[in-house]
């Protein structure tokens, strides 16, 4: 096939990268300064972040929906007399669906692109919420929960990628951390709607039905948004279309994402991205074996290590004891588990907000090291409470709040942030799907194993074990996890991995 003489070649792009590169304006320390409109930058964050909101909402709403569906007078169904296994299927159905969604993302994400994966996620969210809310019996309800979970898996895979690839580097950390904020906001909303509807006949249907309009808004918003320019450029340098046409498309998408303030600098920014991508060898087709070699192996260790420690340091289990800890401390709200959940949810929201405000100023490593250190102290305090200070519930309350707070400005948002930044572009879809799969699988493992371990060892020893794992995670962060603050995604690939 004849080559267009005006079409840029990979060798010419490398020459740009290695010599007189098209320059992006630089700030202090050589960090890129990309012109952008705040209003224009909000929407490419907002609609993908609704995928996180819907995930968090499901967690909060389900805790109340299970109470509603088991009630003889309020469930509105004849099959309300459910066993613990059946309640477990309702509760964990979305989690198992999320595991399948993560596997699907591994195979289809790079082909579909970030935008279409999020549109697919919104569609599956909508279908799952409809089936669950209208379920005539338990099997259909569980199927609906499973389908909804597939939407979670796709959304939690694609949303951080889309936000990372479209956000200006100066606020990338803040925006991806805001996605975690939206997850927690969704939990609080789920607890809130659940507490309002729990005394309504058939209230569980309305709790799940709230997701329907949100899924519609997410789908329409993602339909309106442009594709990730970096994904378009990846296809260009891999020869999956005409270079000039795809480059022009990327420029148009970038202009829509940054707003009119970008002016005439969009072509230069796109050339810079192309030059960086060609320099780091992104024109090669990704292979499965390559996931476990070279740069991607290092990125895989960093990403999966972070999300694994995020879960196995006890996050799904510590909150299991929240109601009993508050009750032992004499708080009146502890008589109602829903109110306790709302209180903790609001606290999580505030601490996640702290991370959002400072992550691009202080960096990822300082927040991780500080937050996880606080988690270590909190976990050993919780263990000591159950072993030695059972008559001093204030110790447990302080330790619980400290753990939640430290988690929410460290592992909570930054785990998702780092996995969206650290993988090379052509392997980002598959790499992030593995990380998301590890996240959900380890969450399921910790949730499943906590009760048997507690019965075998006692709560105090279990919290000590979590504390020891948190110490190991500190060592991992200190020696393995790089700082990515202020770097473009291409610079992260070139310098950090």
Is the distance from CB of 229 to CB of 250 less than 8 angstroms? yes
According to the model, what pLDDT value does residue 394 have? 84
According to the model, what pLDDT value does residue 41 have? 76
Q: Could you report the per-residue pLDDT of 266-280, keeping only the tens digit for each?
A: 888 888 888 877 766
Q: Both tokens of residue 58?
A: 């499901």
Please tell me the least confidently modeled range out of 13-27, 51-65, 321-335. Answer: 13-27
Residues with Cβ within 8 Å of residue 177, at least 6 apart in sequence: 352, 355, 356, 359, 413, 414, 416, 417
> Taking residues 294-320, what's their average pLDDT?
87
Q: Bridge-partner residues for 32, per DSSP? A: 26
For the chain, what is the mean pLDDT? Answer: 84
Q: Is residue 392 part of a domain?
A: yes
Q: Is residue 278 part of a domain?
A: no
Is the distance from CB of 207 to CB of 61 less than 8 angstroms? yes
Q: Is residue 270 part of a domain?
A: no
Please give the model's pTM, rounded to 2 decimal places. Answer: 0.84
Going by the DSSP 8-state scheme, the letter that residue 200 receives in this structure is S
Q: Is 238 helix (H, G, I), strand (E, B) or coil?
A: coil
Q: Could you report the per-residue pLDDT of 114-160, keeping only the tens digit for each?
A: 999 999 999 999 999 999 999 999 999 999 999 999 999 999 999 99
Is the distance from CB of 76 to CB of 207 less than 8 angstroms? no
> Taking residues 5-9, what's their average pLDDT?
51
Residues with Cβ within 8 Å of residue 362, at least 6 apart in sequence: 485
Say which CATH number the domain at 356 has: 1.20.1250.20
Is the distance from CB of 161 to CB of 429 less than 8 angstroms? yes
Confidence check: pLDDT of 384 > 50: yes
Q: Is residue 435 part of a domain?
A: yes
Number of CB atoms found within 10 A of residue 6's CB: 7
Phi-psi region of 76 (alpha: psi -120 to 50; beta: other; left: phi over 0): left
What total of structural domains would you count in the chain?
1
Is the distance from CB of 50 to CB of 217 less than 8 angstroms? yes
Please tell me the least confidently modeled range out of 28-37, 197-206, 253-262. Answer: 28-37
Give dist(CA 362, CA 381) in Å, integer. 28
Question: Nearest-CA neighbor of 105 among 52, 146, 158?
Answer: 158
Going by the DSSP 8-state scheme, the letter that residue 36 receives in this structure is -
Give dist(CA 385, CA 358) in Å, integer. 32
According to the model, what pLDDT value does residue 285 have? 59
Q: Is residue 196 part of a domain?
A: yes
Please tell me the least confidently modeled range out of 330-339, 359-368, 466-475. Answer: 330-339
Give dist(CA 53, CA 183) in Å, integer. 5
pLDDT band at 163 (very low <50, low <70, confident <90, very high): very high
Q: Is residue 14 part of a domain?
A: no
CA distances for 252 relative to 112, 246, 255, angstroms: 19, 10, 5
> Taking residues 229-252, what's their average pLDDT?
86
Question: Nearest-CA neighbor of 94 among 178, 156, 159?
Answer: 156
Please tell me the least confidently modeled range out of 91-105, 277-291, 376-390. Answer: 277-291
According to the model, what pLDDT value does residue 31 have? 44
Confidence check: pLDDT of 5 > 60: no
Q: Is 315 helix (H, G, I), strand (E, B) or coil?
A: helix
Domain residue limits at 385 = 38-226+288-495
- Higher local confidence (pLDDT), 32 or 90: 90
Q: Is residue 27 part of a domain?
A: no
Q: Bridge-partner residues for 26, per DSSP? A: 32
Give dist(CA 355, CA 289) in Å, integer. 36
Q: Is residue 420 part of a domain?
A: yes
Give dist(CA 321, CA 311) in Å, integer. 16
Phi-psi region of 22 (alpha: psi -120 to 50; beta: other; left: phi over 0): beta
């Amino acid at each position: 096939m004849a080559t267009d003489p005006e079409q840029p070649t990979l060798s010419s792009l490398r020459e740009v990268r290695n010599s007189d590169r098209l320059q992006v304006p630089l700030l202090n320390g050589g960090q890129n300064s990309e012109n952008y409109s705040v209003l224009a930058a909000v929407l490419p964050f907002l609609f993908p972040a609704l995928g996180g909101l819907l995930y968090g909402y499901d967690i909060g709403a389900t805790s109340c929906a299970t109470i509603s569906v088991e009630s003889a007078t309020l469930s509105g169904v004849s099959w309300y007399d459910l066993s613990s296994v059946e309640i477990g299927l309702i509760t964990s159905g979305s989690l198992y669906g999320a595991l399948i969604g993560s596997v699907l993302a591994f195979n289809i994400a790079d082909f579909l692109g970030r935008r279409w994966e999020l549109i697919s996620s919104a569609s599956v969210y909508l279908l799952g919420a409809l089936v669950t809310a209208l379920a005539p019996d338990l099997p259909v309800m569980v199927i609906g929960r499973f389908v909804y979970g597939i939407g979670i898996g796709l959304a939690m895979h694609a949303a951080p990628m889309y936000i990372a690839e479209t956000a200006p580097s100066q606020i990338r950390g803040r925006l991806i951390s805001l996605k975690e904020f939206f997850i927690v906001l969704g939990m609080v909303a789920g607890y809130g709607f659940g507490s309002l509807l729990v005394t309504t006949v058939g209230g569980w249907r309305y709790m799940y039905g709230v997701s329907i309009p949100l899924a519609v808004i997410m789908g329409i918003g993602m339909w309106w948004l442009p594709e990730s320019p970096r994904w378009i450029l990846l296809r260009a340098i891999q020869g999956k279309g005409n270079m000039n046409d795809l480059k022009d498309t990327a420029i148009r998408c970038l202009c829509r994402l940054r707003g009119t303030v970008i002016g005439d600098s969009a072509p230069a920014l796109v050339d810079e991205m192309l030059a960086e991508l060609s320099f780091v060898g992104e024109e090669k087709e990704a292979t499965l074996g390559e996931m476990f070699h070279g740069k991607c192996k290092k990125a895989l260790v960093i990403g999966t290590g972070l999300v694994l420690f995020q879960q196995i340091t006890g996050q799904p289990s510590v909150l299991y004891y929240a109601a009993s800890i508050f009750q032992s401390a004499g708080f009146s709200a502890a008589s109602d588990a829903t109110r306790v959940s709302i209180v903790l949810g609001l606290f999580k929201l505030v601490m996640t907000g702290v991370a959002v405000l400072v992550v691009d100023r202080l960096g990822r490593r300082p927040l991780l090291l500080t937050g996880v250190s606080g988690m270590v102290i909190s976990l050993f305090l919780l263990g000591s409470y159950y072993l030695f200070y059972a008559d001093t519930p204030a110790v447990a309350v302080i330790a619980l709040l400290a753990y939640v707070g430290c988690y929410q400005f460290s592992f909570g948002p930054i785990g998702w942030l780092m996995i969206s930044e650290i993988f090379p572009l052509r392997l980002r879809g598959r790499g992030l799907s593995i990380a998301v799969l590890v996240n959900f699988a380890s969450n399921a493992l910790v949730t499943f194993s906590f009760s048997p371990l507690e019965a075998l060892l006692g709560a105090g020893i279990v919290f000590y074990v979590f504390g020891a794992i948190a110490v190991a995670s500190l060592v991992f962060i200190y020696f393995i996890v790089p700082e990515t603050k202020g770097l473009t995604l291409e610079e992260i690939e070139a310098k950090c991995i």
